[in-house]
Amino acid sequence: MKLLMVFVLGLVIVASGCGESPGTDNEGAKKVKIGFAMDTVKEERWQRDLEAFEAHCKKLDVDCEITVADNKADKQANDVDNLLTKGIDVLVIAPSNAKQAASMVDKAKAQGVPVISYDRLIDSDKIDLYISHQVPVIGRKIAEYALEKVPKGRYVMVYGASTDNNAHIMKKEQLAVLQPAIDRGDITIVAEQFIEGWRKDLALSFAENALTQQNDNVDAFVVSNDGMAGGVAEALARKNLTGKILVTGQDAQIDALQRIAEGKQAMTIYKAIVPLASGAVEAAIKLARGESFETSPFLNEAIGKEVPSILLEVVAVDKNNLVDTVIRDGYAKFEDVFRNVPESERPKR
C-alpha cells in the first residue's frame, strides 16, 4: 500500500505548504468548513470512514459537520439542505441514491459550493471530484479470484444496491471476467440479485432461497461486499455448508477477516480507508481555496460523461496474505483476526 501513502503524503505537503494553518484562508480569518453527507455508518467500514475523516479535519484545523442518512435518500436530501444553510465551503457526499444525489449537487453548485462524490459515484457531470478506490478493479479482482479457485461450477451473484453506481460497475466487471467461462459452459450463473442497501439480512434471505432452489448445488457465491458475505456465510452455516462453497467479499471488515482466518469466507478486498478519507479532506481544502490538483478522467457510464477522479489502489486478501496485508499495515490486529483460530493453527508472525 506504499503508493497510497505516498499519494496522501504528497497532498498533505501541498496543502500545508503555504506557511499557515491548512484550514484557514489567506487572511487567517476563517477556517474552511466541510459538510460531509454520509449515507450510513451501520457497517464497520463506514464507521472507519467517519472516524478517519473527522480525525484528518482536526489534524488540518478544518471545521467539518457530518450527517448520516441511515440509508434513506430523502433524509440525505434534507441533510444536504441543512448543511448548505450552515455556510459550508465544500460539500462531500457519499450518496444513498446515485441519481437522486444529482439534485443535491445542483443545489450546492447553484450556491457556488464545490462537490466531492465520496466512494460512490453520483450521476452528475457537475461534481468537482470523484474520489474512491478502483471500483472496476475491485469487481474484476473478486471475479478473477472466484474463477481461479472455482474454474468450473455453478455461481450465485450477489450484487450491491441497485441505486449505487458502484454495484453496477462491479457487476459489469465481474460478468466481463466470467463471460468467457460462461461461453465455454464452464460456469453457469444459477441466480443473481441486487441487494437493497447492501443489507446482510436480505443477502441471507436471497442466499437461502438460492440454495433451496438449487438443492444446495452451488459452488461459489460471488458477493460484492463483506456485509452481504456475512449473510451468505450465515445461510451456509445453517445448512452445514460452511467452507464447502466459495464466498467472496469486499471492505476487509474485521468479521470478514475472521471468517477468512476460520475458512468461512475465501477472500475480501482491502481498501485502505485512511488515505481515502484524508485525500477527500485535502482535496476539499484545495477546492475551497480555488487551488488546482491532479486528477484523471473517469467515465460515468450511467450518464455517458467523464468526471475528474482520484482512484486509489486495492488489494485482494485471503488466508495466505492476511498477515502481509491488513495486519502488517496496522489495519487489523493479529489477535483480533485469528481470535477464533486455535493457536496451533495460526500463522507465524
H-type alpha helices, 125-225: 135-149, 165-184, 200-213
Q: Which three cell numbers stand for residue 106?
A: 445542483
- The CA distances from residue 182 to 91, 146, 325, in Å, are 43, 13, 32
Rounded CA gap, 195 and 81, in Å?
28
Q: Residue 74 burial by CB count (10 A; 0-12/13-18/19+): exposed, middle or buried?
A: exposed
So what's the pLDDT on residue 3? 38
What pTM, to 2 d.p., does this model score? 0.87
Rounded CA gap, 192 and 154, in Å?
11
Question: What pLDDT digit, counting tens, does each position of 290-320 carry?
Answer: 999 999 999 999 999 999 999 999 999 999 9
Question: What pLDDT digit, counting tens, does each position of 194-235 carry?
Answer: 999 999 999 999 999 999 999 999 999 999 999 999 999 999
Q: Which three cell numbers stand for residue 308?
A: 475528474
First to last CA, the chain: 19
